[in-house]
């Protein structure tokens, strides 16, 4: 490919709206251009890298025994109503009506559609197992799209779905997909970790997230040297110390605390540490019989909504509004507490370590001190309800947990019969009995993987692509394009590389050398071959690696073979 013919525009300045490095560099390098909020055009160079990721995905999915299909992006409301997700999925689901007044949505995911497809074909256990996947455009109407293609509204996703006769088969399908995902992200040249995760709106009994390690990651990952890893939403807190003896605790006292709302303000007022305070949070849920629940955690801990949701058997748990807080406590936010509250109260296990504590009094400008659970109020239940912290014991081996940042690029789920039961996807077993299909679900954000690779591979000059997903593997840069000898040698090297299967970008632009070097670094091509008039007189060209900047002079007749071998070794 000649650079002069490439449809691209590079920029020297970061776009004003860009917050993360991948968004900045993808825009500056001419990989993407914005159409609307959260909706992007992929330019030729960006699409080349995107397609390489897709090809790696296809090869590994096919190797694992999955078959590719392509499902419609537009989905009828009836299927979502049948699964029960139409009403609770949220505003992220883009809904519309056709000219006949029928309800549809733009698919954010395809569990309903694939289950409907399989139930229309599968009749017998002899047709199972089967694993179907697609690479297709999705749409989720994010309230605040940001970070470029990292959190966009329209995005490209690989989603796969396995269908088995029993749990043992589903476990094997899950294992194969987990192995395939490890292969995919390894082949993309990424540093990543697979961690236990909450299943969220997809549902199911168990899941793993694949996280690319990067400081810019939105997700926090708890990890241990023993191999344990989990998203902090999922990570278990199994040890909170010995239970305190409350038998000699003093009687509770009601204390006036005007305008003392936050934990810091409470600690300053009472001259105590956050570990001696219990903060009470009101959560709104869709659990049957528990639209509002109170959760108490230690003042130096944070309540984990995912654990609250799972505890009460809800589809969601979110902090209550000011109006809902007043409904539950008869007080404004900042003064909630477990005494006399109108909703069920759940306590995090860490509070067992306090013989007595301070908490809100459910009345304006007042707190209780010397509160004791069971003596002063009733606890609905004790559970692990907080986020894990660095230094907490590992739930597997007891050593200290570390917390790192990561970007979710893939998520695999054990769905069980969640969708097959609701959509009546069944098969006849060997005895002729009608049995529900056991399902799994496996997703990869393709554009997100591309952006994550940049978040992990860049320097002050631009992108530093891993060779397997670089838009081109080698850039040939003749310094003086009007010099016939320079161009002849450059074209001969290009021809030899192309014949050996190397993808080459040839910078034939009549630009200053500095401009061409800056664009080469910005675009991040892994290997640069520079042909200069001085080197030609000595019979050599300059070869420079983008990652690390190692450079050397090499004989003209040897450079093509060297570059071909260099690329092949890094694509393996």
What is the per-residue pLDDT across 89-106, written as a single tens digit (0 to 9) for each? 889 999 999 999 999 999
Distance of CA 119 to the CA centre of its chain: 30
Give the rounded distance of the alpha carbon of 74 from its chain centre.
24
Comparing CA positions, the residue from 42, 39, 11 lying closest to residue 471 is: 42
Contact status, residue 566 vs residue 544, Cβ threshold 8 Å: no
Retrieve residue 444's tokens: 């990869």
Place of tokens 């629940």: 293
Confidence of residue 539 (pLDDT cuts 50, 70, 90): very high
Ranges of each domain in the chain? 3-236+403-454, 253-383, 472-571
User: What confidence category does residue 506 fall into, taking pLDDT thresholds of 50, 70 and 90?
Assistant: very high
Q: How many CA atoms lie within 13 A of 171 on its CB side?
A: 3
Radius of gyration of the chain (CA): 29
Q: pLDDT grade, residue 200 (50/70/90)?
A: low
Average pLDDT, the chain: 95
Grade residue 528 by pLDDT with cuts at 50, 70 and 90. Answer: very high
DSSP string, 365-421: TEEEEEE-BTTTB--SEEE--B---TTSBPTTT-SBPEEEEEEEEEEEEEEETHHHH
The whole-angstrom separation of Cα 351 and Cα 359 is 12
Taking residues 6-20, what's their average pLDDT? Answer: 93
Q: And the tokens for 560?
A: 């093509």
The residues that bridge with 97 in the sheet, in sequence order, are 103
* Domain 3-236+403-454 CATH class label: alpha beta
pLDDT exceeds cutoff 70 at 169: yes
Q: What distance lies between CA 400 and its chain's CA centroid?
A: 25
pLDDT value at position 258? 96
508-527 per-position pLDDT tens digit = 999 999 999 999 999 999 99
Provide the Cα torsion 457, 463, 467, 472; round to 10°: 170
Q: Whole-model pTM? A: 0.86
**Left (φ > 0), alpha (ψ -120 to 50) or beta: where does 432 sit?**
left
For residue 524, which of 471, 465, 567, 477 has the smallest C-alpha distance?
A: 465
Q: List pLDDT tens digits, range 324-383.
A: 999 999 999 999 999 999 999 999 999 999 999 999 999 999 999 999 999 999 999 999
* Tens of pLDDT, residues 233-247: 889 998 777 899 999
Task: Give yes or no for residue 21 having a pLDDT over 90.
Answer: yes
133's CB contacts (< 8 A; 6+ apart) are 61, 66, 67, 68, 69, 158, 159, 160, 161, 442
pLDDT, tens only, 346-363: 999 999 999 999 999 999
What was the pLDDT predicted at 207?
Answer: 86
- Domain 253-383 CATH (choose: 3.20.20.150, 3.30.70.520, 2.40.30.10, 3.90.960.10): 3.90.960.10
Task: Measure the CA–CA gap between 535 and 476, rounded to whole angstroms.
Answer: 14
Residue with more model confidence, 206 or 542: 542
| Residue 202, pLDDT above cutoff 80 | no
pLDDT at residue 201 is higher than 70: no
**Superfamily of 472-571 according to CATH:** Anticodon-binding domain (3.40.50.800)
Q: How many CB atoms lie within 10 A of CB 106?
A: 18
Residue positions counted in the chain: 572
Identify the band that residue 204 occupies on the pLDDT scale cut at 50, 70 and 90: low
């Amino acid at each position: 490919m000649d650079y002069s013919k490439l449809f691209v525009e590079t920029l020297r300045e970061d776009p004003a709206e860009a917050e993360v490095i991948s968004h900045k560099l993808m825009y500056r390098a001419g990989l993407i251009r914005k159409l609307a909020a959260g909706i992007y055009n992929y330019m030729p160079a960006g699409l080349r890298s995107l397609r390489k990721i897709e090809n790696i995905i296809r090869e590994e999915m096919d190797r694992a025994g999955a078959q590719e299909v392509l499902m419609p992006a537009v989905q009828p409301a009836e299927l979502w109503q049948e699964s029960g997700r139409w009403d609770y999925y949220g505003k992220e689901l883009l809904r519309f009506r056709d000219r006949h007044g029928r309800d549809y949505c733009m698919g954010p995911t395809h569990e309903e559609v694939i289950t409907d497809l399989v139930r229309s074909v599968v009749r017998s256990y002899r047709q199972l197992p089967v694993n179907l996947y697609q690479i297709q455009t999705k749409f989720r109407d994010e309230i605040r799209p940001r970070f470029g293609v990292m959190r966009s509204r329209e995005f490209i996703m690989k989603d796969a779905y396995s269908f088995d006769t029993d749990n043992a088969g589903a476990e094997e399908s899950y294992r194969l997909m987990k192995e395939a995902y490890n292969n995919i992200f390894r082949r993309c040249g990424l540093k990543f970790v697979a961690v236990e995760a909450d299943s969220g709106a997809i549902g199911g009994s168990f899941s793993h997230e694949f996280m690319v390690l990067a400081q810019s990651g939105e997700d926090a990952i708890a990890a241990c040297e023993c191999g344990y890893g989990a998203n902090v939403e999922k990570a278990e807190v199994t040890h909170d110390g010995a239970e305190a003896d409350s038998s000699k605790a003093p009687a509770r006292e009601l204390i006036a605390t005007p305008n003392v709302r936050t934990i810091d303000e409470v600690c300053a007022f009472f001259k105590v540490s956050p570990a001696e305070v219990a903060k009470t949070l009101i959560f709104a849920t869709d659990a049957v019989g528990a639209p509002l629940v109170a959760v108490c955690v230690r003042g130096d801990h944070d309540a984990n909504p995912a654990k609250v949701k799972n505890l009460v058997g809800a589809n969601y748990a979110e902090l209550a509004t000011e109006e809902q807080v007043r409904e539950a406590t008869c007080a404004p936010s900042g003064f909630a507490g477990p005494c006399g509250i109108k909703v069920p109260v759940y306590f995090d296990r860490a509070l067992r370590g306090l013989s007595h504590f301070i908490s809100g009094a459910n009345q304006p400008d007042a707190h209780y001190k010397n509160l004791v659970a069971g003596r002063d109020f009733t606890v609905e239940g004790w559970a692990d309800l907080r986020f894990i912290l660095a230094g907490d014991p590992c739930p597997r081996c007891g050593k200290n947990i570390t917390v790192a940042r990561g970007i979710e690029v893939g998520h695999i789920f054990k769905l069980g019969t969640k969708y097959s039961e609701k959509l009546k996807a069944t098969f006849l077993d060997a005895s002729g009995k009608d049995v529900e299909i056991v399902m799994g679900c496996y997703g990869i954000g393709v554009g997100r993987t591309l952006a994550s690779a940049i978040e992990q591979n860049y320097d002050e000059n631009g992108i530093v692509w891993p060779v397997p997903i670089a838009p081109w593997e080698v850039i040939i840069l003749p310094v003086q394009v009007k010099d016939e000898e320079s161009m002849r040698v450059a074209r001969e090297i290009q021809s030899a590389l192309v014949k050996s299967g190397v993808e080459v970008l040839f910078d034939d632009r009549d630009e200053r050398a500095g401009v061409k070097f800056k664009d080469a670094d910005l675009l991040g091509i892994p290997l640069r071959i520079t042909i200069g008039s001085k080197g030609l007189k000595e019979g050599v060209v300059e070869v420079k690696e983008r990652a690390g900047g190692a450079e050397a002079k090499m004989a003209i007749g040897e450079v093509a073979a060297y570059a071909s071998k260099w690329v092949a070794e890094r694509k393996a």
